[in-house]
């Protein structure tokens, strides 16, 4: 005697395009139940890839904000504020948390910081009103300085042409 065919887990499955939130929970439940044939695999795959890309984007964004604020801190010392310090501290924490949760992103740090520097530099130029020529050509901060919770650049760091 043959096995009775299992009835679908959801009477009317949610369409990915109609309600992504409900769809995601339905797909997770189908995975738990090992009911792979009922899954919306093309969209599950797309969502998983998107999750990975979002982690990269969020890390780049935190480095961008950190670098922009370090540049502003260095090049506009007269405008330093507690708000800038809060942003610097918060983004360092975000970077630490993101890298702890996604250690494979450490292999891309050089590229991430290069991209973040270009974007953070644009923000610093707009906010300070200083020309491009006033800033360094490449990110002047080492990875250790970017991660150091106590590091804040001094405006004299670049007058000598050397950052330690």
List all residues 6 or more positions away from 17 whose beta carbon is below 8 Å from its beta carbon.
none
Domain annotation covers residue 28:
no
Provide the percentage of residues in the chain whose pLDDT is more than 90.
80
CB-based burial label for 164 (10 Å; 0-12, 13-18, 19+): exposed
Given this model, what pLDDT does residue 160 score? 38
Given this model, what pLDDT does residue 39 score? 94
Mean pLDDT, the chain, as a whole number? Answer: 90
Residue 5 has pLDDT above 90, yes or no: no
Which of 69, 64, 67 is closest to 82 using CA atoms? Answer: 69
Domain annotation covers residue 24:
no
Domain annotation covers residue 15:
no
Number of domains in the chain: 1
Q: How does 70-89 read in b/e, with b if 16+ C-beta sit within 10 Å?
A: bbbbbbbeeeeeeebeebbe
- Domain range for 92: 41-149
Domain annotation covers residue 155:
no
Confidence of residue 13 (pLDDT cuts 50, 70, 90): confident
């Amino acid at each position: 005697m043959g096995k009775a065919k299992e009835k679908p887990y959801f009477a009317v499955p949610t369409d990915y395009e109609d309600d992504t939130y409900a769809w995601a929970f339905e797909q997770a439940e189908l995975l738990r139940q090992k009911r792979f044939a009922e899954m919306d695999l093309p969209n599950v795959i797309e969502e998983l890839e998107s999750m990975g890309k979002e982690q990269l984007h969020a890390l780049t964004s935190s480095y961008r904000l950190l670098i922009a604020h370090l540049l502003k801190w260095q090049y506009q010392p007269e405008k330093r504020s507690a708000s800038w310090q809060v942003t610097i501290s918060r983004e360092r924490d975000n970077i630490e948390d993101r890298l702890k949760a996604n250690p494979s992103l450490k292999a891309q740090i050089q590229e991430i910081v290069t991209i973040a520097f270009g974007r953070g530099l644009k923000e610093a130029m707009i906010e300070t009103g200083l020309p491009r020529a006033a800033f360094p050509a490449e990110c002047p901060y080492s990875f250790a300085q970017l991660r150091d919770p106590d590091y804040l650049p001094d405006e004299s760091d670049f007058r000598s042409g050397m950052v330690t």
